[in-house]
């Protein structure tokens, strides 16, 4: 079963597009360049509000050990590069981890 690493961050509306571009052009490619064993993918969700814009990332790994390989023994700590911190209004200090127990695709 896969492990999902879920994290939330929020920007002011004026920084949302800049933050999304940073993730697309720098942060996600930087994670992929680490060639982390068991890393499968990262998903990005966005929800625009009047006062702030919420982003959720969901990283998928083969196992919890792969998350530890990515983040170290303090694997629940958030991974927020300095460039991202400059654009975020606030963020979760820790990520949550879930075991994916079922996946159904409608065909």
pLDDT tens for each residue of 47-74: 999 999 999 999 999 999 999 999 999 9
- DSSP 8-class letter at 10: E
Is residue 105 domain-resident?
no
DSSP secondary structure of 23-63:
IIIIIHHHHHHT--TTEEEEEEEEEE-SS-EEEEEEEEESS
pLDDT value of residue 105: 84
Is residue 52 domain-resident?
yes
Strands 90-91 and 39-48: unpaired
User: Which domain CATH number covers 72?
Assistant: 3.30.70.100
Is residue 67 domain-resident?
yes
pLDDT 10s digits, 9-25: 999 999 999 999 999 99
CA Rg, the chain, in Å? 14
Global pTM reads 0.92
What are 107's two structure tokens? 């065909």
pLDDT 10s digits, 78-89: 999 999 999 999
Look at the chain and report how many structural domains it folds into. 1
Structural domain boundaries, residue 84: 3-99
Is residue 107 domain-resident?
no
């Amino acid at each position: 079963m896969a492990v999902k690493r879920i994290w939330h961050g929020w920007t002011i509306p004026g920084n949302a597009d800049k933050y999304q571009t940073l993730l697309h052009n720098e942060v996600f490619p930087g994670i992929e360049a680490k060639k982390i064993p068991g890393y499968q993918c990262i998903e990005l969700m966005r929800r625009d509000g009047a006062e702030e814009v919420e982003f959720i990332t969901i990283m998928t790994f083969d196992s919890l050990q792969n998350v530890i390989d990515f983040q170290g023994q303090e694997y629940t700590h958030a991974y927020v590069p300095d460039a991202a911190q400059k654009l975020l209004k606030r963020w979760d200090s820790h990520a949550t981890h879930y075991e994916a127990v079922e996946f159904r695709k409608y065909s």
